[in-house]
Amino acid sequence: MSWQIILDYPLRIDDENPTVEPDVDVYDIDMFLSQNNTVIANLHKLGKKVICYFSAGSYEPWRPDAHKFLDSDLGNTLAGWANERWLNISSPSVRAIMASRIETASKVGCDAIDPDNVDGYQNDSGLDLTAASSIQFLNFLAGLAREHNLAIGLKNSLDIIKDVLHLVQFSVNEECANYHECSAFSAFIQDNKPVFHVEYPAGAPGAISAKEQQDSCEASGATGFSTVLKTLELTSWVEYCSGQTANTSVIITTAV
């Protein structure tokens, strides 16, 4: 399944004559940026499936429900993302907020959810999170997704794939080629589930060398992953392993 992922701005799609570029099967978009416009409905008119992204394991102070989080549930900041903090994913309060987010995803028409940062156990969270914590959390999220007729993906978290593969319908993986981890995610392909794979090569956007493209695409191509090459900010620009590039139209605003 071909895909595009854009998290920095909402898509711009004409309501009366909807079109979108690139013409791929699946769009992974930010749920909060898309809940108050018609972009999901317009993607459905075009025959696209829509995966809705939200962070399930980190606190983002700019989200509209940020005020609901308890200070006691916040851990260390995420490496490279100074405005985000790890969450205590076992907290009833955190889980209530995530339940509300999944309900919102259903109401706005998402086909699936992409809950990010469920791998706090692999990081310096300051919260004593373990692999068992994430497995239990995925069980919780997947149960709610089923109740709302939503598919759910596993984001990264290679150490728990075997424990949660039966709960999820796809994988969203970042940089398995860069970290030489792609073989771990082939379990999804063997289970007839897609792997939506993104790499962030030097030179993006628009100046990725042939070697960088080969390094990003070779390992995943051999396993049947759906690979896109993007900037770390997940802007509207995308390059595929075929060499095709696209720049999806988005609504630029003064604040995200």
In this structure, the chain runs to a length of 256
* Res. 256: pLDDT tops 70: no
Edge-to-edge order in the sheet of strand 74-78: 58-59, 81-87, 74-78
pLDDT bin (cut points 50, 70, 90) of residue 35 is: confident
Query: Can you read off the two tokens belonging to residue 251?
Result: 């609504």
> Which pLDDT belongs to residue 254?
59
Specify whether the CB–CB gap between 239 and 207 falls below 8 A: no
Domain boundaries, the chain: 3-247
Mean pLDDT value across residues 178-206 = 95
C-alpha–C-alpha distance, residues 56 and 101, integer Å: 9
Specify whether the CB–CB gap between 210 and 240 falls below 8 A: no
Mean pLDDT value across residues 70-88 = 96
C-alpha–C-alpha distance, residues 14 and 39, integer Å: 9
> Which pLDDT belongs to residue 37?
82
> pLDDT (tens digit, 9 = 90+) per residue, 119-146?
999 999 999 999 999 999 999 999 999 9
Contacts of range 63-66, beta carbons closer than 8 Å, 24 or more positions apart: 63/32, 64/32, 65/97, 65/100, 65/101
> Which pLDDT belongs to residue 219?
78
CATH of 3-247, one of 3.30.70.260, 3.20.20.70, 3.20.20.210, 3.30.360.10: 3.20.20.70
Average pLDDT, rounded, for the chain: 95
Mean pLDDT value across residues 175-182 = 94
Choice among 12-16, 50-54, 134-138 with the minimum mean pLDDT: 12-16
Closest residue by Cα to residue 97 from 148, 134, 63:
63
> Which pLDDT belongs to residue 221?
76
* Res. 255: pLDDT tops 80: no
> pLDDT (tens digit, 9 = 90+) per residue, 204-243?
999 999 999 999 999 777 789 999 999 999 999 999 999 9
> DSSP class of residue 145?
H
Task: Give how far Cα 162 sits from Cα of 154, 184, 185, 195, 244, Å.
Answer: 11, 10, 10, 15, 34
- The pair phi, psi for residue 228, each rounded to 5°, is -125, 150
